[in-house]
Amino acid sequence: MTELDAATRDALAELLLTVADDEFIIGFWDSEWTGIAPMLEEDVATSSIAQDEIGHARALYDLLAEVTGDDADRIAYGREPDAYRHAALLNHARGDWAFSVARRYLYETADGVRLEALARSAHEPLAQLAAKMRREETYHLLHADAWLRRLSDGGTDVRERLADAFRRLWPDAQQVFAPLAGEEALQAAGILPEPMAALHAAWVTRVRPALEPIAGPLVEAAPSAEGRTARTDDFRWLHGEFTMVARGDEVAALW
Amino acid sequence: MSTTDRVWEVFRQEDEGDPMVHAGNVNAPDEELAMHYAREFYGRRGESHRLWIVARDAVTELDDPDLLKPPFDRSHKKPGGYIIKHKLEAAKQRAASEAGE
């Protein structure tokens, strides 16, 4: 591949960081179910899927580190909370099982649309990684979809919890497709084959008919420029958890 | 959940052509989740080429000792049931003496 100019390289770095942070943070939130999922088998399945997502993040951080000459571990664990670029959807704490299922469903469907596009990227290493990730994400989506159908048939209380979670998460879910600062450069280079706005429209067309029978009419919501920068106390807590070991010296001082 | 759980027996094949071997079992409310859980328990490390997931209540079990461990001597139904070692030796000796004539 030809040498990228500085603006395109920065834009590629931003794209990789957003996808990596999404995978990393959903992986950590879902790993919060380890030991307390509804049944033993589901505990293993949820934990394994969470681990898969962190594995995807690892591969993406490696790719990013090659582009920027940085170190994957430092990128993953060495930033302050405000420097993370995951979508607002992943700012919320784990919640109850229905909430986690609703979020996984929203994320997996959005991620699926995004990966389908990235698999056609002109940046060959990214296209290859996206194609590999899709093979695993297909199974993740089947799992989330299986639970969505079970909970929506699971009686009034369960269905209401699921509907509440969808209504609450819907605006923040749009932010998976928040516009990127360097999007025009990425499109010009063929790195991002379609604009985020087009991916967003494709996703909404796909999920709205599946969700409205459960959650009722969903508000019109759009991706926003702040969709990946606003951080919450929930996330600040999680950040403290997942950086604890990396901040080894600090922890050692407590012992 | 547990009130509706069923047990599913899982068989795995390591490589194409290998025999399906009983791997263990999982609890799941239905076939769809049984498939997911079987994959997580017996396939997530790349150790399986194929899995069979069978509801335990679909398995026909036979454990009647009258049929499986009959009370009479059945040694004649086994390959080792006929002791032919001494017959073989006698035949060899006969063959040797005939050749010597």
Beta partners for residue B51, in sequence order: B12
Worst-scoring range by mean pLDDT, A160-164, A176-180, A244-248?
A: A244-248
Res. A250: pLDDT tops 90: no
Does the CA dihedral A224-A228-A232-A238 come out positive or negative? positive
Confidence of residue B86 (pLDDT cuts 50, 70, 90): confident
Share of residues in chain A with pLDDT > 70 (%): 96
Beta partners for residue A118, in sequence order: none
Among A39, A48, A142, the residue with its CB nearest the CB of B40 is A48
Instruction: Please give the average per-residue pLDDT across A37-50, as a whole number.
Output: 94
Please give the residue of chain B at the shortest CA–CA distance from A140. B36
**pLDDT tens digits, residue range A186-229?**
999 999 999 999 999 999 999 999 999 999 999 999 999 999 99
Contact B1 A48 (CB under 8 A): no
pLDDT of residue A252: 61
Res. A70: pLDDT tops 70: yes
pLDDT of residue B80: 73
What domains, with CATH codes, occur in chain B?
2-60+71-100 (3.10.20.520)
**pLDDT tens digits, residue range A101-132?**
999 999 999 999 999 999 999 999 999 999 99
Beta partners for residue B24, in sequence order: B10
Res. A183: pLDDT tops 60: yes
Res. A255: pLDDT tops 70: no
Q: How far is A132 from chain B (nearest CA, A)?
A: 15
Contact A39 B1 (CB under 8 A): yes
Contact A64, A13 (CB under 8 A): yes
Beta partners for residue B8, in sequence order: B26, B55
pLDDT of residue B73: 80
pLDDT of residue B1: 47
Contact A192, A15 (CB under 8 A): yes
Please give the residue of chain B at the shortest CA–CA distance from A136. B44
Contact A146 B28 (CB under 8 A): no
What domains, with CATH codes, occur in chain A?
6-254 (1.20.1260.10)
> Closest Cα to residue A70, out of A128, A10, A122, A118?
A10
Beta-carbon count within 10 A of A162 CB: 26
ipTM over 0.85 threshold: no
